[in-house]
Amino acid sequence: MPKQFAVIGNPIEQSRSPELHQAFAQDLGINLQYDKRLAALDGFEQSIEDFFKQGGQGLNVTVPFKEQAFALCGHLTERAKIAKAVNTLWMENGVLHGDNTDGQGLVNAIAALGWSLENSRILILGAGGATRGVIFPLAQAGAQYIQIANRTLSRAQQLVEDLKAAVGKTQLHATALDQLHGEFDLVINATSASLTGEALQLPETLKFDHAYEMAYGKASSFLDQAHQRGVSSSDGYGMLVGQAIEAFEIWHMVRPDLKKFL
């Protein structure tokens, strides 16, 4: 019987994780089964308990359970502790282990695009869970300055307070979304505005070389504006592949080649 893996969320139908993990496994000659698991909104803990009791090896966690997964782990990686959210679970010596591979997934995707993060100036739009998960990995990848711009300024300020000790010499700065200006190497849209179809207006006084939209498969006014300016840009599919590669490596100790799966 192949080893069992799954992605758990609610809803779950839209998840691309099974096809990615199956493609990695096929490429690397690994035998696995990777399913989608729908958990009831109040049934996450029971569902993961059942999965591991039945011999499951590893779970990916998606919306809306990443914070609950974080709270249930007996052991967490440093980046998961900082993100306060977990997207990858496994059992070791009877202890539930959790990691968060989303931020490194973004770093992998950016590297595959050939954009350098070393000494970079980055603007992140949004201050929710998606932003929290990527700041530490971006800092570790060499970002010099990260500005977090949010509609609700206090959330961006809180994030800076929470994360400034973790990011070492990377400077963090909070601003309001309607105060955007300055020059950046990279702007990342981590708001959920694209998911709801709402438009973000990037002012002319904001200059940047690259634009990364964390969402994928949706119309994005953020990407439209990047195209209009002629700057290089990407949607979030590479980040999805990038985080899956990190999870795959944790579970199987071999690393798929990102560029083969973009």
Q: How many CB atoms lie within 10 A of CB 244?
A: 27
Q: Name the segment binding ligand ATR (CB under 6 A); options: 92-100, 126-134, 222-230, 249-257.
A: 126-134
Q: Looking at 96, 106, 122, 130, which residue binds ligand ATR (CB under 6 A)?
A: 130
Rounded to a whole number of angstroms, the minimum distance from the CB of residue 252 to ligand ATR is 28
Q: Which of 35, 46, 47, 98 is nearest to 69 (CA)?
A: 98
Nearer to ligand ATR, 25 or 148 (CB): 148
Residues 183 and 207 sit within 8 Å (Cβ to Cβ): yes
Determine if residue 257 is labeled as part of a ligand binding site.
Answer: no
Q: Does 135 bind ligand ATR (CB under 6 A)?
A: no
Site for ligand ATR in 39-78 (CB under 6 A): none
Beta strand residue intervals within 153-214, DSSP E:
171-176, 182-189, 206-213
Determine if residue 219 is labeled as part of a ligand binding site.
Answer: no
User: What are the tokens at 101?
Assistant: 């591979």
Q: Does 84 bind ligand ATR (CB under 6 A)?
A: no
Q: Name the segment binding ligand ATR (CB under 6 A); options: 30-38, 95-103, 148-156, 223-231.
A: 148-156
Q: Does 103 bind ligand ATR (CB under 6 A)?
A: no
Return the SS3 of 228. helix
Q: Does 243 bind ligand ATR (CB under 6 A)?
A: no
Q: Which residue bears the tokens 């990377």?
A: 170
Rounded to a whole number of angstroms, the minimum distance from the CB of residue 134 to ligand ATR is 10
229: exposed, middle or buried (Cβ count in 10 Å: 0-12, 13-18, 19+)? middle
Q: How many CB atoms lie within 10 A of CB 231?
A: 15
Q: Which single residue brings its beta carbon nearest to ligand ATR?
A: 128
Q: Looking at 3, 16, 36, 155, which residue binds ligand ATR (CB under 6 A)?
A: 155
As beta bridge partners, residue 92 has 95
Pairing of strands 95-99, 232-234: unpaired
Rounded to an integer, what distance in angstroms lies between the CA atom of residue 73 and that of residue 37? Answer: 19
Binding residues for shikimate: 15-17, 62, 87, 102, 212, 243
Residues in the site for ligand ATR, rule: CB under 6 A?
126-130, 150-152, 155, 177, 190-193, 198, 200
